[in-house]
Amino acid sequence: MKAVITKSGILPLQETNFLSEDTTQKRCALIPLRQFGGKRGFNPPCPFQRRIVINGGSFYFKRITKMKVEAIVERTDNGYYSIACDSKIGNFCLGGFGDSVDEAKADFMSVVSEAQRDYILEHGELTEELTEIDVEYRYDLQSFFNYFDWINISKFAKFAGINESKMRQYKIGAAFAGEKTKEKILSAIHRMSAELAAASL
């Protein structure tokens, strides 16, 4: 049985033809028809879309927008990893720090949670946008290979068409890649991702 995630939990859908496969996987709110007066044939205003029936009751589907955040992950000069971000939750700045990228990410998400709690204390509740944060991480080469440490550097260098010795220097920060080399590395990452996504067992 298909289900939809709502603020009050996961509810089964008796009728799913109003929702696409993609939609059922995304966070949403269900607005009871009675909130609109319960009139038959009523078309709710944007952003309320698509009527569905759950356990005999009529609801309208409303997608909740996430707050999108770009976080820059870098290895610092003293060997630690930091995450910097221009976005804020209320007056709360976001960032993270750790001995590894994993630790820095965990620290970053704990700061996000603390910022959300602080926002609730000040405003009473979170806005819909702030209930779920969509983070896009952008890495420098050292932090990328620290986080994806299962990648074999020798084989990746060959896959990307880059000198193996140079690739090892990029990984530890002993040398810095130019723009063309970065483009080659990024292209190899995208090709690797596409091949993994196309694979099946």
Same domain, 157 and 116: no
Same domain, 122 and 95: yes
Same domain, 56 and 77: no
Same domain, 11 and 55: yes
- Boundary of a domain, candidates 106, 121, 149: 149
Same domain, 71 and 143: yes
Same domain, 78 and 142: yes
Q: Which residues are within 8 A (CB) of 77 and not within 5 positions of it... i.e. 6 or more apart? A: none
Same domain, 101 and 155: no
- Boundary of a domain, candidates 111, 130, 149: 149
Q: List the pLDDT tens digit at each of the 201 positions of the chain.
A: 344 444 444 444 443 333 333 333 344 444 444 444 444 444 444 444 444 444 455 554 455 577 899 999 999 999 999 999 999 999 899 999 999 999 999 999 999 999 999 999 999 988 888 888 889 999 999 999 999 999 999 999 999 999 999 999 999 989 999 999 999 999 999 999 999 999 999
Provide the domain limits for residue 184. Answer: 151-201
Residue 49: predicted pLDDT = 46
Whose tokens are 């810095």? That residue is: 176
Same domain, 138 and 72: yes
Whose tokens are 């033809």? That residue is: 17
Number of structural domains (the chain) is 3
Residue 56: predicted pLDDT = 52
* Encoded tokens for 131: 């209930």
CA–CA dist 87, 67 (Å, integer): 9
CA–CA dist 132, 114 (Å, integer): 13
- Boundary of a domain, candidates 132, 149, 166: 149
* Encoded tokens for 137: 């991480």
Same domain, 88 and 128: yes
Same domain, 112 and 55: no
Same domain, 85 and 133: yes
Same domain, 89 and 145: yes
Residue 16 has phi, psi (to 5 degrees) of: -115, 0
CA–CA dist 107, 113 (Å, integer): 10
